[in-house]
Amino acid sequence: MDGLRLDGAKHLIEDAQVQQNSDATHQWYQAFRTFYKQVNPQALTVGEMFGDPSSVVASYSAGDQLDLGFDFTLATTFLNGARAGRASDVAKALDADVRAFKPAQFATFLSNHDQNRVMSQLAGKLDKARVAAALLLTAPGVPFIYYGEEIGMVGLGADDEKRTPMQWTAQANAGFTTGSPWELVNPDYVKGRNVADETADPASLLATYRALIQARNQHAALRVGDLYLAQTQATSVLASLRVSQAETVLVLINLGPDPVTGVKLTLAAGPLKNRYHALPILGAAPGADLAANGPGGFDDYQPTPTLPGYGVLIYQLQPAQ
């Protein structure tokens, strides 16, 4: 067994009127960690503790209990940002998380089996689902994807409507079973919302997820890099610098439908030195060279003339020789 997801983890042991986050619950997880790490040092536990990230969730993942805790606040903020096309609240939530948690000790996600599916929350808007995926997969933390979100499955209301069978093909029962599924398959699987059809479409949501996952797998900075949030005059643009020992990556996400021309980025202080070439990881063309300022950040850096509506650009900043 590689690990466990612990449901309702803060309710494990009640103590009189204390029905959540009791001292006994924390003590049990401390002993549990000692046990499962002896069995398998690489085993992973992730807890579902709905509550304030800094005061509740972080208290379980400080290094002596669970490995990760799901951050519901950040998930809601990701979707609200994608829905409204505003980046400021996303930036604030990310900044709060990197301050509250030990590095990468929180689990990021967009929705789960108890919540309305992402595509339903975003009113079926494919471009909004794309930027939500970009927020998830370029952020710090450990990302989790609820099955079917990567192809835009829909579902809202009752639990069974959010847990319909995975849609693999356009064949009978979406290729999920040759028998009778416990829950009926959502009928939109015959209209292209299935893995086989989206695999064949380079413009599909699945293709977006795969490209982002590939970029994260290939670039350590996107997985474990420190986060530096740049300032910009464009309210729809989230600009972040991810910095690991091996590399530096710049991420630009336009959460709005309109192109942004002449976007300029400023980072008051950071880890940069001298000049960099901006080489594309995700995006068609190289960006403009970047010159670091004295404190290791940059001033009025314009990486690209225009950032398209709902555009996602990821650059590797390679030191110039």
Tens of pLDDT, residues 54-103:
989 999 999 999 999 999 999 999 999 999 999 999 999 999 999 999 98
Instruction: With a cut of 90, say whether residue 241 has pLDDT above it.
Output: yes
Residue that is last in its domain, among 218, 234, 255: 218
- Tell me the average pLDDT of the chain: 96
pLDDT of residue 284: 78
User: Do 47 and 164 share a domain, yes or no?
Assistant: yes
Whether residue 81 sits in one domain with residue 25: yes
pLDDT tens-digit profile of 27-37? Answer: 999 999 999 99
Residues 281 and 246 in one domain: yes
From 169, 200, 218, the end of a domain falls on 218
Determine the pLDDT at residue 213.
98
Same domain, 58 and 174: yes
User: CA-to-CA distance for 276 and 287, rounded, in angstroms?
Assistant: 10
pLDDT of residue 112: 96
Selecting among 48, 149, 150, 197, the annotated active-site residue is 48
pLDDT at 283: 87
Residue 63 and residue 208 share a domain: yes
195 and 290 co-located in one domain: no
Q: 306-307 and 312-319 as β-strands: parallel, antiparallel, unpaired?
A: unpaired
Threshold 0.85, pTM exceeds: yes
Instruction: Look at residue 1 and tell me whether its pLDDT is greater than 90.
Output: no
- Annotation says 197 is catalytic: no
Backbone angles phi, psi at 96, to 5 degrees: -65, -40
CB 98 within 8 A of CB 140: yes
- Domain region containing 184: 3-218
Decide if 7 is catalytic: yes
Q: Are residues 73 and 60 in the same domain?
A: yes
Q: Look up the CATH number of the domain holding residue 212.
A: 3.20.20.80
Classify each residue of 24-38 as buried b or exposed e, where b means 16 or more C-beta atoms within 10 Å of its C-beta: ebbeebeebbeebee
Examine the domain organization and report whether 212 and 243 are in the same domain. no
Q: What is the mean pLDDT of residues 167-173?
A: 97
Beta strand residue intervals within 101-255, DSSP E: 107-108, 142-143, 226-229, 231-232, 237-243, 248-254
Find all residues with CB under 8 Å of 163, minimum gap 6, and list them: 113, 155, 183
The answer to whether residues 191 and 121 belong to one domain is yes
Considering the domain architecture, whether residues 74 and 166 belong to the same structural domain is answered as yes
CATH number at residue 241: 2.60.40.1180
Query: Which own/partner pairs from 203-207 qualify as long-range (CB within 8 Å, at least 24 positions apart)?
Result: 204/151, 205/126, 205/129, 205/130, 205/133, 205/150, 205/151, 205/152, 206/150, 206/151
**Which position among 2, 7, 15, 160 bears the catalytic label?**
7
161 and 308 together in one domain: no
